[in-house]
C-alpha cells in the first residue's frame, strides 16, 4: 500500500509504502449513480435527511456528486437496513487494493493515463461521464481512476506511520476530523488519479466531483 519513493508525481503522504493483509470483501463495480442515490434517498431516514437530486451534472447513469461524508454514511446506513446486510464506505486499504487489482504501477492500466482510459482534467471533457464507459481493471471495477473522488471511511493522517495493517479503516483521528478521498476526478490532473494518491477534506464538504462507492462483507444480493 502506498507508492514507492521513485514514483513520478508521488506525494509525501503516500508513504511509507507498507504491506497490508486485506480480508475478503465485495465492492460495487461502479461509483453510486444518481439513479441509485435517488432510490436510497427516498428510503426512511436513519440519522439525517438526504437530497434525492444533489448532482450538478445530471444523468441517471452518471455518478452522484455534491455529497459529503455524512451523506455517504447515511446512504450506507439506509441501504444496509433496506437490504438487510451491511454496507459501508471502503477503508483506504480496501480502496487501494481494489483499485490496483494486482498492479504495482501508478494506474491499474500502467504508467500513464490517457483520454480513453479515465475521465480526468486535460482530456477535453467538462464534468462527469456515465459510469462504466472506460475499461475496467482486472477485478472488473470501473472508474477507479477519475470521474469522481470517492469517500473512504478513514480519518486522514499525514503518513502511514502507525496505520492498521489488517485492511481495516484508521478510525482514530490524527489532529482533526478530516476524512480521506481517493481516485481523482474529472476536475483533477492525471497525477491525482493514481492508485496511491490520497487527499483530505472536511467531512461536511460537498463539491461537483465528490461521490462514493460502497463495500460489503457479505455477497448476499450484492450489486
Q: Could you report the per-residue pLDDT of 153-209, keeping only the tens digit for each?
A: 999 999 999 999 999 999 999 888 999 999 999 999 999 999 999 999 999 999 999
On whether residue 15 sits in a domain, the answer given is no
Model pLDDT for residues 89-117, shown as the tens digit of each residue: 999 999 999 999 999 999 999 887 667 89
Angle CA(149)–CA(32)–CA(169) in degrees, nearest 5? 60
Q: Where are the beta strands (DSSP E) in 10-69?
A: 26-27
Greater model confidence, 177 or 220: 177
Place of cell 465528490: 210
Tell me the pTM. Answer: 0.95
Q: Residue 65 belongs to what domain range?
A: 1-10+25-212
On whether residue 132 sits in a domain, the answer given is yes
* 20 C-beta neighbours (distance < 10 Å), count: 19
What is the C-alpha separation between 162 and 47, in angstroms, rounded?
32
Render the burial of 38-71: b for 16+ CB within 10 Å, e for the rest: bebbeeeeeeeebeeebbebeeeebbbbbbbbbb
On whether residue 53 sits in a domain, the answer given is yes
What is the C-alpha separation between 75 and 214, in angstroms, rounded?
9
Greater model confidence, 116 or 81: 81
On whether residue 197 sits in a domain, the answer given is yes
Report the number of distinct structural domains present in the chain.
1
Query: Residue 60 is part of a domain; what is its CATH number?
Result: 3.90.1580.10
On whether residue 2 sits in a domain, the answer given is yes
On whether residue 222 sits in a domain, the answer given is no
Amino acid at each position: 500500500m502506498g507508492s514507492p519513493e521513485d514514483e513520478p508525481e508521488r506525494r509525501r503522504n503516500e508513504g511509507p509504502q507498507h504491506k497490508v493483509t486485506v480480508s475478503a470483501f465485495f465492492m460495487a463495480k461502479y461509483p453510486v449513480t444518481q439513479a441509485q442515490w435517488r432510490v436510497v434517498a427516498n428510503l426512511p431516514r436513519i440519522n439525517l435527511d438526504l437530497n434525492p437530486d444533489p448532482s450538478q451534472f445530471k444523468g441517471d447513469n452518471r455518478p452522484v456528486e455534491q455529497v459529503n461524508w455524512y451523506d455517504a454514511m447515511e446512504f450506507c446506513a439506509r441501504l444496509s437496513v433496506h437490504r438487510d446486510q451491511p454496507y459501508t464506505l471502503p477503508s483506504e486499504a480496501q480502496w487501494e487494493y481494489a483499485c490496483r487489482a494486482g498492479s504495482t504501477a501508478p494506474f491499474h492500466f500502467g504508467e500513464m493515463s490517457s483520454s480513453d482510459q479515465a475521465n480526468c482534467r486535460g482530456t477535453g471533457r467538462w464534468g462527469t461521464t456515465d459510469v462504466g464507459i472506460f475499461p475496467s481493471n482486472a477485478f472488473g471495477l470501473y472508474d477507479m481512476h477519475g470521474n469522481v473522488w470517492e469517500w473512504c471511511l478513514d480519518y486522514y493522517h499525514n503518513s502511514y506511520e502507525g496505520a492498521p495493517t489488517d485492511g481495516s479503516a484508521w478510525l482514530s483521528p490524527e489532529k482533526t476530523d478530516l476524512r480521506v478521498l481517493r481516485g481523482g476526478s474529472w476536475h483533477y490532473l492525471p497525477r491525482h488519479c493514481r492508485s496511491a494518491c490520497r487527499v483530505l477534506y472536511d467531512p461536511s464538504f460537498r463539491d461537483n466531483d465528490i461521490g462514493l462507492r460502497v463495500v460489503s462483507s457479505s455477497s448476499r444480493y450484492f450489486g
